[in-house]
Structure 1
């Protein structure tokens, strides 16, 4: 299975830090945030990782190289000319690199100790989402869950972690252009084509300077 790390966003809420460095390169426990993902993906058996880049994108391959040091192959999907294509657009743009099999997508601006599954089986679903208990900044949540089936609305809601396993068919019909992921997911959810699970371990959306400061004050456990 291939994996993709979404790393093209501007990171407006993280300014002024992201004026000079892409958000995925911000340091967590002394090394770039995205490096934690690459290291964990390698340990989980992933051999090929696609990284989309846009804002200050040249700094990611300059910093990370080709992935040899982690025993993986890093391939960069460059969105610099078009501007960041958002999550669904970025995935669609890289679909020729991801192939026709199931693939994993991870947001480049989260930190977690979730164990990626290189052998995950979608069981004929279009997607499988990793959900987490709602953090303070998203108390209403995003999706519900009923017997491993993701719902658009429920009495108990959870937050989408930014980690998901996807069938390429979910993206094949959309054009290569700026497109958010949520509408695609909600349509598939309406058709009962998305499964999910709740992960209760360490997870943080590193979306603001304060959250970056907070995660660096926690004893590291995601290595």
Structure 2
């Protein structure tokens, strides 16, 4: 299974750091944030990686190269302007589906998270368009995103009495989720997922291990402290 790391955002909430450094290369406990993903994927045996980029994207390619230093193969999907999550995946679909067909799923990870999710255990159940990993709601997102019951994911607006969890930014997706859309479109992922949920085609699981969203200077510092403590 191929894996895609989403890394094309501007990182505006991490400014001034990201004025000169693309968000994937922001240092956390001595190494660029994105390299934690690359190391975890390599350890899991997922060696064919696609990384999208936009803002200061040439620095991403210069820093990571072809991935050989981690024993992986990295291909890049450049975006002139960030296309949002689904738009970025659409733009990279030719790379994600190369040497496969439109039923072969792929793993997607948000580049601005850190987690101990065992990615090699994730699969897409037959007949599903997406499989999402959900986590407990953090303080900065108390209302959550989606509900989970018996392995099925629904939108909280459609199940108002159920407890909602936060989407971790880790998922296994089918290329068929993007049928009918064109590369180059700026497109968020949530509307596609919600439509698939209404069709009963989104499965999921809850992860009770470590997960952190590195979406602000404060949260970046918190992750740095956590990783430093683990090493001490």
TM-score (norm. length: structure 1): 0.95
Contact 1:104 1:163 in 2 (8 A): yes
Residue 142 of structure 2 is matched in structure 1 by 139
Residue 214 of structure 2 is matched in structure 1 by 206
Q: How many residues align?
A: 220
Give the alignment of 1:177-192 within 5 angstroms: 177-192=185-200
Q: Does 1:88 align with 2:86?
A: yes
My pick for the range that moved more, 112-121 or 62-71, is: 112-121
State the Cα deviation string for residues 149-199 of structure 1 (Å, max 9, x = none). 001124211000000000100013212210000000000011110000110
Q: Distance in 2 between matches of 1:47 and 1:216?
A: 27
Q: Does 1:217 align with 2:225?
A: yes
Residue 159 of structure 1 is matched in structure 2 by 166
How big is the alpha-carbon RMSD for the aligned residues of Structure 1 and Structure 2? 1.4
My pick for the range that moved more, 159-168 or 146-155, is: 146-155
TM-score (norm. length: structure 2): 0.92
SS in 1 for 2:221: helix
Contact 1:2 1:98 in 2 (8 A): yes
Q: Distance in 1 between matches of 2:121 and 2:57?
A: 27
Q: Does 1:17 align with 2:7?
A: no
Contact 1:132 1:161 in 2 (8 A): yes
Q: Distance in 2 between matches of 1:219 and 1:28?
A: 8
Q: Distance in 1 between matches of 2:6 and 2:116?
A: 18
Contact 1:122 1:165 in 2 (8 A): no
Find the partner of 2:128 among 125, 128, 144. 125
Q: Distance in 2 between matches of 1:76 and 1:12?
A: 22
Query: Structure 2: which 5+ residue stretches go unaligned?
Result: none
Query: Structure 1: which 5+ residue stretches go unaligned?
Result: none
Contact 1:122 1:128 in 2 (8 A): yes
Change (3 A) 1:8 1:181: same
Contact 2:146 2:154 in 1 (8 A): yes
Contact 2:152 2:200 in 1 (8 A): yes
State the Cα deviation string for residues 108-160 of structure 1 (Å, max 9, x = none). 00011111127724222000000000000100000000100001124211000
Q: Does 1:116 align with 2:148?
A: no
